[in-house]
Amino acid sequence: MRTVKYGATIRKLVEKTTATAKAKYECPKCHKRKVVRKGMAIWRCKSCNAVFAGGAYSLTTEVGEVAARLINEYSKTYR
């Protein structure tokens, strides 16, 4: 979005969102940096072909990380 039509703040937000969506992420299974976005909140590893559900524009979200941490803590206490 390199036009003058929209405000600078909106252009910066769109560029940041596009950059995070196009970035490659580390696969939780094979630990290679090959996970790419296939669709809205669908991510696929090019190395091991694993498919993940994640955030719309990034593999993990802040809420998802908190939930994973809480699940991990609860599973340790109830063993």
In a domain, 62, yes or no: yes
Q: What is the end-to-end Cα distance of the chain in Å, rounded?
A: 52
Report the pLDDT value the prediction gives residue 3, as an integer from 0 to 100: 66
C-alpha distances (whole Å) from 13 to each of 24, 32, 62 are 19, 28, 18
Residue 58, domain extent? 24-77
In a domain, 17, yes or no: no
In a domain, 50, yes or no: yes
Report the pLDDT value the prediction gives residue 1, as an integer from 0 to 100: 58
Q: How many domains does the chain have?
A: 1
CATH classification at residue 32: 2.20.25.30
In a domain, 63, yes or no: yes
**What is the spatial distance between Cα 35 and Cα 44, in angstroms, rounded to a whole number?**
5
In a domain, 11, yes or no: no
The string of pLDDT tens digits covering residues 28-73 is 999 999 999 999 999 999 999 999 999 999 999 999 899 999 999 9
User: What is the full DSSP assignment across 40-52?
Assistant: TTEEEETTT--EE
